[in-house]
Structure 1
Amino acid sequence: MDEPSAEARLGVAAPFKMGQGDIVTDIRQIEIMPQSDTGSSRTATIHILQHQPTGRPIEDRFSIDVRVREQNGLGVGQTTLLLGVYDGHRGSAAATYVAQDLPSEVLSAAARLNHGTGAQTQLIKETFERFDQQMISSFQDAHSMPTKPAAHAPRRILSSISTKFSRAKRQRGDKSDDGDSRITEEGTTAALRVLSGCTASMLMVKVPHSCQGTPSADIINLGDSRVVVASLNPKPTIQATSVDLNSGVKDEQSLITSQHPGDDPKDIFVGGRLFGETLSTRAFGDGMYKLPLRAGQSTIAQDTAREPPKYSELTRKERDQHRDLINQLSAHQQAAAASKGRAKIIPLTDRFDTLFWAYKSPPYVSSTPQVTKVPLESQDALPNSKASHPIVGIVATDGLWDLVSSEEAVEILSPVLSQTATTSSSDGINIAKLLFDGVVERRGRKPGDDVTILVLIFQV
């Protein structure tokens, strides 16, 4: 029988309303342990900043979720706090969808296994993989046309774009014949989730309601956003960080080449990028580098003790299927651009041979995260000590980490964090803004990419 629980969404999948150069901040305080008989309670403060440095819409998303379990089998309740940032690329569709729906899946997975770190880690990995596969397979299943050869794709694309123009006519009050209506708004939304992609970096903190319980944390990372956890006792000290995962990381290159024994590594990585196009090697979406999903070839996360999966070369039929699915993605991309009155973009169909000349054995992009357990006990606490001490967690997209190292970030915040360690208050100062200002003003570094920063401060 499931344990009684309640879930609250304190963050939003959509970003703040922003324009070029805007900086938006917020501070939210959460009670993470109910008030005890002694009148004490544990609270967490989350400092938020988003910055849009360019004229294009911000593609970052974030989430803040809390799940309260009234009691477990031992009669002890627990609050789980989950923070996430999602860095979108090729649009924001994937990031919006993942930020909205993934956190509840992760919280449910974590709740099913509260004992056994290895089992919980594996379950979280499987949750990420299954979420991504369902997103991509729903598109593939809806758009696969095995009875139609790929040669018919250009005609379908033109008719699909025509459909979008017909919709625009109807919006203007023109009730003339709408023609072909095979592309729907819902279908285009689903296609853009698959065509775009996003990283996901999360910090999950579990706080028992009993003072005798020990809080725990997990860093969950997919891609090159980053999570940093530091202790503030006696001074700010990094306890754990996530590892950036992209095509510029040698270990990541080695893993991918080992999974594709029939590919020439020089064809997979060109100029440090996957096929010379993208840095992403771990992401949700990015269907261009995962399609077609093949029966009997699961990408569900393998046990860490096993060898990574090996992927076989596409058959002729599967290559035709891949081309057809890319044609469908291109149709939706063109239709979406036309419906919004945007300047014409080069169709994927026109770039197919350039993009996929070495595409042999997908998937090349993985949605398997790295999960790291973080001890939250104070390094300097005496045995059996019940005194609380502050912990800080920084969860941010690479718009920040392209400019500053984890160590520099903690150093910039060190004065105010040291004060927080003694007063348990930041006196209304937004610590995420303090970090951003320290990078931009004091270090003289200006971001060229979207920036989202969540700084969590709580008492252990």
Structure 2
Amino acid sequence: MQPLFVRVFCVTPVNRSLPSCDINCFRVSDSQATFQNRRSWHRGIMGGPGKTHEAIQTVGAVTVASVQYQPTDRPIEDRFSFTVSPDGTRLMLGVYDGHGGSDTADYISKILPPALLAHPPQEHKRIFEDTNTAMLDAFKDDHALFRVRPRSKDWLNNAKLLRSGCTALILDIDIPGMLVHFANAGDCRALVCDFPVSGDPNSLQLQQTVDLNAKSSLEQERLKLEHPNEDMLVVSGRLFGKLMSTRGFGDGYYKLPRGINNWQHKKYVDVLSSFDTQTGKVPLNAQYNSYFYGYRSPPYLVATPDTGLLKLKRESFIVCGSDGLYDLVTNEVVARTIRQGIRDGAENLAAHLLSTLTDIGDDVTILVLTFN
């Protein structure tokens, strides 16, 4: 079983065309980060089925509590990352909501944080897009019609990375400056919560990232602008009636070129469908007309992140979560639950929040950052 709690170091990319990085830039020494109370067990909430994993990680004055929950016996598809600069002044948190398997989320959680940490926050957008392009190019090169060299040794993995998909939320935290540069491609959410020291004890100030998926009016407008005169792009709140995601990595079948009369795209989908026969799913190519009835001007799903800045105070705390969390509770409930957990001395604030949730039907990943 692959570890779900990842202390991220620089990882050599899986295929030859993806961006590399200097390993000396990203090593997290034991003196910088401590890991405590890491626990995993096969027991669901309230004694039901499922799996729960939790951990606490500390860097200087910052503590990050984490928990993941899978309500069924399936492997969890979410991943998260925790990466620190050598001097301990820059902390990068990531949440990656996987779907269609965990391959893409697992891969992106390992290569994206060190690539971002090697550059200033102003480069986040470019690095997201370059990583996405490199993944697509590696697959297309392996399956080029007039290929002049053998397929790469990583061709199977390159294909798996496009068959599954994941969203990505990155928080690049300047600890001394108390600033968060975020890059969000998808519908994971970061929430910065402040309860003012003075004034109304029940007052609450919130900052958040914007959820971007097929239900978002912003994403629906983007699709209309980028694909004019194309109808039925979003059906029943899903891209082509099938996929909730409109931003993220992987999901190559909504990004790859179509060719004349879609012949090239059908060839690519045939390759990606080979993994469905191994899992017992109905192959994509057997449902081609249903999935791709309006496939005219790809890409429809992009990795371009929404970027921005969130400001912190010493009394602030941050709650990052996959949509499995925020589909169930409001921002206000999240903030007040964590605040009560702080008052009660909860050992793991993320696990404390998870324990209050009911009717969980999706993978849930929660990170809670506090200042000591």
Alignment partner of 1:355 is 2:291: yes
Partner of 2:371: 458
Letter in 2 for 1:52: Q
Q: Match of 2:265?
A: 322
Instruction: Give a deviation string over 1:125-169, Cα, whole Å, max 9, x none.
Output: 11101111101210111112258xxxxxxxxxxxxxxxxxxxxxx
Aligned position for 2:55: 26
Change (3 A) 1:141 1:11: farther
Return the index of the structure with the highest Cα Rg. 1
- Cα distance per residue 1:290-330 (max 9 Å; x no partner): 002xxxxxxxxxxxxxxxxxxxxx5517x221111111111
SS at 1:68 equivalent: coil
Partner SS, residue 7 of structure 1: coil
Quick one: distance in 2 between partners of 1:452 and 1:327? 33
Map 1:33-432 → 2, pairs under 5 A: 43-69=61-87, 79-110=89-120, 120-121=121-122, 123-146=123-146, 186-208=154-176, 214-234=177-197, 237-264=204-231, 267-292=232-257, 316=260, 319-334=262-277, 337=278, 342=279, 344-376=280-312, 378=313, 389-417=314-342, 419=343, 427=345, 429-432=347-350
**Which one has a larger percent helix, Structure 1 or Structure 2?**
1
Q: 4+ residue stretches of structure 1 with deviation over 6 A?
A: 9-12, 182-185
CA deviation after TM superposition for structure 1 residue 364, in Å: 0.2
How far off is 1:46 after superposition? 0.9
Assess if the C-alpha contact under 8 Å between 2:276 and 2:282 holds in 1.
Answer: no
CA distance in 2, matches of 1:250, 1:279: 13
Which whole-Å CA distance do the structure 2 matches of 1:452 and 1:125 have between them?
A: 24
Q: How many residue pairs were aligned?
A: 333
Taking the aligned partners of 1:47 and 1:407, their CA distance within structure 2 comes to 19
Answer yes or no: is the 8 Å Cα contact 2:247–2:302 preserved in 1.
yes
Deviation larger for 277-286 or 224-233:
224-233
**Which runs of 5 or more residues in structure 1 are unaligned?**
32-42, 70-77, 111-119, 148-181, 209-213, 293-313, 379-388, 420-425
Q: Deviations over 1:239-258 (max 9, x none)?
A: 41011100011121011111
Gap regions ≥5 residues in structure 2: 1-21, 44-48
- Quick one: higher RCO (CA 8 Å, sep 6+), 1 or 2? 1
TM-score, normalised with respect to structure 2: 0.82
Overall identity of the aligned pairs, in %: 34
Q: CA RMSD in A?
A: 2.7
Compute the TM-score of the two structures, normalised by the length of structure 1: 0.67
Residue in 2 aligned with 1:299? none
Partners in 2 of 1:202 and 1:232 — Cα distance? 24
The 3-state SS of whatever aligns with 2:316 is strand
